[in-house]
């Protein structure tokens, strides 16, 4: 195979090198396209065919339904690792040994207090504020109480910033939920594991001891692992592009949280449960919603279905579906919405509209059902996704800075008015 791509524009030929990844993916390196051709660019709205970077963090093959973090299969990580180990793996590239993991956790615990003044900012939000908006704001607000920039040339400074953010975001997540529920802000307990502590901070009542439920702990740990990274999706690209201007880590993450909020991205987990609830209220009429999803004049989409990259089963959805069955059975929860979800999935997988377009359930289709069984309120679902995605965003931000990537700045093809003279107001 040739290692070059040949392009003809107006009878002139140009050659561009091909780049090959370790999993044999091929890209055309068009860095010199504009200068070589005197101004020609590529146009690819939504970046369906455009690679924005070379990355060594996550590999996914959408046709085969493969997802790997740093070379390890997601199925194996979800089964055998814990969330903090996976966070370390994603950010630093290798699984930590026991001593490194213990130090990592202990460094996180040492940073787990947030400035008391932050409570004033949380207090200023109305109780009705959506937790994703609150979390994005609080993450940005952390810059007021912490060094706003990180010396990326120092591994130590980078490590300290990473540990700080992994310590403080869970506190903000828990307090965001407690604010909405009118509960006092509490800290967890440094003798607990990372995810155990998150559960305690979220659910501890002021007048009773919080007793950990191993089923809940295990399920949340697994969900966070499944959400931990997904290469160059909308929010991750937002984090990378924000950070590419050398804006600080906290604000880059805050930008990522805002991007995740949308219903086409992480916000889908909330939208799925709301859709399933609506179907339940509508006498379980799945056929009606299938018809709406297929009707091009109706903006309704089957939430939790379809994916930009997966054109086969989303491997995370497979794990979550199995887990939903187990968790609900173990907790003794009967959720009629699970049956509606299964019925809807079956119908969609047999329907030519969905089959032809290769639309399968994605990670968000069943995750809300588990979150709900764990006692997490619906409007917190996307916040839980953010918590899981945190290591991925950090890993991608770190990689982008260490590789000294240039500022992200796409081009455009201008389709507006051409030059015209100004018209004074009295003549318009």
Question: Which residues sit at the interface with ligand CMC, rule CB under 6 A?
Answer: 46, 233, 264-266, 268, 293, 301-308, 357, 359, 362-364
CB of 139 to ligand CMC, least distance (A): 18
**Nearer to ligand CMC by C-beta: 146 or 362?**
362
CB of 222 to ligand CMC, least distance (A): 17
**Nearer to ligand CMC by C-beta: 150 or 226?**
226
Rounded to whole angstroms, the Cα distance separating 360 from 357 reads 9
**Nearer to ligand CMC by C-beta: 248 or 266?**
266
DSSP 201: H
What pairing do the DSSP bridges indicate for beta strands 4-9 and 12-20?
A: antiparallel
CB of 12 to ligand CMC, least distance (A): 33
Number of residue whose CB is nearest ligand CMC: 306
Rounded to whole angstroms, the Cα distance separating 34 from 270 reads 43
Q: For residue 98, what are the CA distances in angstroms to 5, 60, 103, 178?
A: 47, 28, 9, 33
**Nearer to ligand CMC by C-beta: 197 or 382?**
382
DSSP H or E stretch at residue 313: none
Residues designated as active site: 307, 364
> CB neighbours (10 Å) of residue 247?
16
CB of 81 to ligand CMC, least distance (A): 21
121-154 as b/e, with b when 16 or more CB fall inside 10 Å? bbeebeeebbbbebbbbbbbbbbeebeeebebee
And the tokens for 111?
């940073």
And the tokens for 392?
């991925």
CB of 251 to ligand CMC, least distance (A): 21
For residue 278, what are the contacts with CB-CB under 8 A and spacing of at least 6? 289
State whether the Cα torsion 87-93-94-99 is positive or negative.
Answer: negative
**Nearer to ligand CMC by C-beta: 12 or 346?**
346
CB of 243 to ligand CMC, least distance (A): 20
For residue 227, what are the contacts with CB-CB under 8 A and spacing of at least 6? 316, 363, 367, 384, 385, 388, 389, 392
Query: Residue with structure tokens 């899981």?
Result: 388
**Nearer to ligand CMC by C-beta: 119 or 346?**
346
CB of 305 to ligand CMC, least distance (A): 4
DSSP letter for each residue of 342-358? HHHHHHHHH-HHHHHTT
**Nearer to ligand CMC by C-beta: 115 or 231?**
231
And the tokens for 49?
């065919």
């Amino acid at each position: 195979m040739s290692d070059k791509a040949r392009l003809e524009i107006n009878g002139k030929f140009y050659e561009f090198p091909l780049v090959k990844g370790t999993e044999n993916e091929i890209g055309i390196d068009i860095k010199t396209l504009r200068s070589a051709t005197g101004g020609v660019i590529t146009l690819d709205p939504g970046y369906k065919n455009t690679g924005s970077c070379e990355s060594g963090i996550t590999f996914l093959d959408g046709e085969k339904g493969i997802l790997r973090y740093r070379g390890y299969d997601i199925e194996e990580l979800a089964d055998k690792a814990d969330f903090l180990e996976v966070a370390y793996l994603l950010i630093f590239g290798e699984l930590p040994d026991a001593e490194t993991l213990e130090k990592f956790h202990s460094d996180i615990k040492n940073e787990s207090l947030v400035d008391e003044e932050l409570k004033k900012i949380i207090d200023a939000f109305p109780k009705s504020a959506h937790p994703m908006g609150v979390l994005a704001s609080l993450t940005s607000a952390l810059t007021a109480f912490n060094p706003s920039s990180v010396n990326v040339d120092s591994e130590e400074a980078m490590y300290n910033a990473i540990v700080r953010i992994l310590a403080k975001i869970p506190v903000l997540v828990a307090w965001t939920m407690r604010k909405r529920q009118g509960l006092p802000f509490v800290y967890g307990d440094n003798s607990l594991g990372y995810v155990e502590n998150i559960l305690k901070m979220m659910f501890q009542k002021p007048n009773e001891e919080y007793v950990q439920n191993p089923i809940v702990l295990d399920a949340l740990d697994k969900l966070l692992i499944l959400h931990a990274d997904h290469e160059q999706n909308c929010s991750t690209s937002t984090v990378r592009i924000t950070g590419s201007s050398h804006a600080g880590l906290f604000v880059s993450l805050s930008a990522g949280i805002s991007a995740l909020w949308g219903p086409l991205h992480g916000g889908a987990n909330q939208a799925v449960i709301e859709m399933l609830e609506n179907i339940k209220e509508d006498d379980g009429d799945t056929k009606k919603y299938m018809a709406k999803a297929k009707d091009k004049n109706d903006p309704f989409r089957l939430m939790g279905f379809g994916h930009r990259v997966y054109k086969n089963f989303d491997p995370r959805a497979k794990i979550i579906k199995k887990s939903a069955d187990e968790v609900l059975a173990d907790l003794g929860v009967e959720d009629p919405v699970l049956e509606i979800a299964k019925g809807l999935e079956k119908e969609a997988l047999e329907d030519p509209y969905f089959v032809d377009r290769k639309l399968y359930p994605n990670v968000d289709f069943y995750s809300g059902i588990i979150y709900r069984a764990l006692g997490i309120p619906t409007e917190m679902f996307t916040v839980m996704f953010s918590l899981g995605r945190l290591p991925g965003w950090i890993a991608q931000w770190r990689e982008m800075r260490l590789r000294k990537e240039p500022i992200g700045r796409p081009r455009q093809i201008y389709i507006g008015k051409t030059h015209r003279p100004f018209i004074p107001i009295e003549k318009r």
